[in-house]
Amino acid sequence: FMNQNLQNKIKNLIQENDVVLFMKGTPEMPMCGFSAAVVNILNILEVKFIGINILEDEELRQGIKEYSDWPTIPQLYVNKEFIGGCDIVQEMYKSGELQELFSSK
Protein backbone atom coordinates (compact mmCIF):
# COMPACT_ATOMS: atom_id res chain seq x y z
CA PHE A 1 0.00 0.00 0.00
CA MET A 2 1.04 3.54 -0.68
CA ASN A 3 2.43 5.52 2.19
CA GLN A 4 0.83 8.80 3.17
CA ASN A 5 3.82 10.93 2.13
CA LEU A 6 3.75 9.58 -1.39
CA GLN A 7 0.00 10.00 -1.60
CA ASN A 8 0.32 13.62 -0.46
CA LYS A 9 3.14 14.25 -2.92
CA ILE A 10 1.04 13.00 -5.84
CA LYS A 11 -2.03 14.87 -4.62
CA ASN A 12 -0.09 18.14 -4.29
CA LEU A 13 1.37 17.84 -7.79
CA ILE A 14 -2.11 17.32 -9.19
CA GLN A 15 -3.69 20.11 -7.15
CA GLU A 16 -1.00 22.73 -7.68
CA ASN A 17 -0.76 22.33 -11.46
CA ASP A 18 -3.56 22.59 -14.01
CA VAL A 19 -2.06 19.97 -16.27
CA VAL A 20 0.24 17.21 -15.04
CA LEU A 21 1.69 14.40 -17.12
CA PHE A 22 3.23 11.49 -15.26
CA MET A 23 5.55 10.10 -17.89
CA LYS A 24 8.69 8.16 -18.72
CA GLY A 25 11.40 10.73 -19.29
CA THR A 26 10.90 14.47 -19.54
CA PRO A 27 8.82 16.63 -21.91
CA GLU A 28 12.07 17.58 -23.67
CA MET A 29 13.24 13.97 -23.86
CA PRO A 30 10.50 11.38 -23.52
CA MET A 31 11.81 7.86 -22.89
CA CYS A 32 8.91 5.98 -24.45
CA GLY A 33 6.73 6.34 -27.51
CA PHE A 34 3.50 6.63 -25.55
CA SER A 35 4.83 9.43 -23.36
CA ALA A 36 6.20 11.15 -26.47
CA ALA A 37 2.82 10.91 -28.19
CA VAL A 38 1.02 12.63 -25.32
CA VAL A 39 3.70 15.33 -25.03
CA ASN A 40 3.35 15.90 -28.75
CA ILE A 41 -0.41 16.42 -28.54
CA LEU A 42 -0.08 18.80 -25.58
CA ASN A 43 2.55 20.78 -27.51
CA ILE A 44 0.37 20.94 -30.62
CA LEU A 45 -2.45 22.31 -28.47
CA GLU A 46 0.05 24.70 -26.82
CA VAL A 47 -0.97 23.51 -23.38
CA LYS A 48 1.27 24.47 -20.51
CA PHE A 49 1.95 21.36 -18.44
CA ILE A 50 4.46 19.84 -16.10
CA GLY A 51 6.00 16.47 -16.84
CA ILE A 52 6.88 14.23 -13.91
CA ASN A 53 9.56 11.68 -14.78
CA ILE A 54 8.55 8.48 -13.02
CA LEU A 55 11.76 6.76 -14.13
CA GLU A 56 13.64 8.80 -11.55
CA ASP A 57 11.45 7.59 -8.73
CA GLU A 58 10.48 3.92 -8.43
CA GLU A 59 8.15 4.64 -5.53
CA LEU A 60 6.30 7.26 -7.55
CA ARG A 61 6.19 4.94 -10.55
CA GLN A 62 4.23 2.37 -8.55
CA GLY A 63 2.36 4.95 -6.50
CA ILE A 64 0.79 6.79 -9.40
CA LYS A 65 -0.62 3.54 -10.80
CA GLU A 66 -2.26 2.87 -7.46
CA TYR A 67 -3.38 6.46 -7.03
CA SER A 68 -5.23 6.58 -10.34
CA ASP A 69 -6.03 2.87 -10.42
CA TRP A 70 -4.57 2.83 -13.93
CA PRO A 71 -1.87 0.27 -14.81
CA THR A 72 0.17 2.14 -17.39
CA ILE A 73 2.25 5.28 -17.87
CA PRO A 74 1.83 8.01 -19.15
CA GLN A 75 -1.04 9.40 -17.15
CA LEU A 76 -2.57 12.78 -17.80
CA TYR A 77 -4.33 14.87 -15.18
CA VAL A 78 -6.22 18.02 -16.09
CA ASN A 79 -7.78 20.30 -13.48
CA LYS A 80 -7.23 17.67 -10.78
CA GLU A 81 -9.01 15.04 -12.82
CA PHE A 82 -7.49 11.88 -14.22
CA ILE A 83 -7.99 11.90 -17.99
CA GLY A 84 -6.22 8.69 -18.95
CA GLY A 85 -3.25 7.28 -20.79
CA CYS A 86 -1.95 7.58 -24.33
CA ASP A 87 -4.85 5.82 -26.12
CA ILE A 88 -7.49 7.88 -24.38
CA VAL A 89 -5.62 11.15 -24.96
CA GLN A 90 -5.22 10.31 -28.66
CA GLU A 91 -8.89 9.37 -29.01
CA MET A 92 -9.97 12.58 -27.29
CA TYR A 93 -7.63 14.59 -29.49
CA LYS A 94 -9.02 13.02 -32.68
CA SER A 95 -12.60 13.61 -31.59
CA GLY A 96 -11.93 17.20 -30.52
CA GLU A 97 -12.85 16.49 -26.89
CA LEU A 98 -9.38 17.33 -25.68
CA GLN A 99 -9.41 20.70 -27.43
CA GLU A 100 -12.75 21.46 -25.73
CA LEU A 101 -11.38 20.42 -22.38
CA PHE A 102 -8.48 22.85 -22.68
CA SER A 103 -10.46 25.70 -24.21
CA SER A 104 -12.91 25.59 -21.31
CA LYS A 105 -10.12 26.27 -18.80
Q: What angle do CA 48, 52, 55 make, to 5 degrees?
A: 150
CB–CB of 85/91 below 8 Å?
no
Annotation-wise, does 32 bind a ligand?
yes
Residues in the chain: 105
State how far the Cα of 85 lies from the Cα of 82, in Å rounded to an integer: 9
State how far the Cα of 61 lies from the Cα of 9, in Å rounded to an integer: 12
Binding site membership for [2Fe-2S] cluster: which residues?
32
Binding site membership: which residues?
32
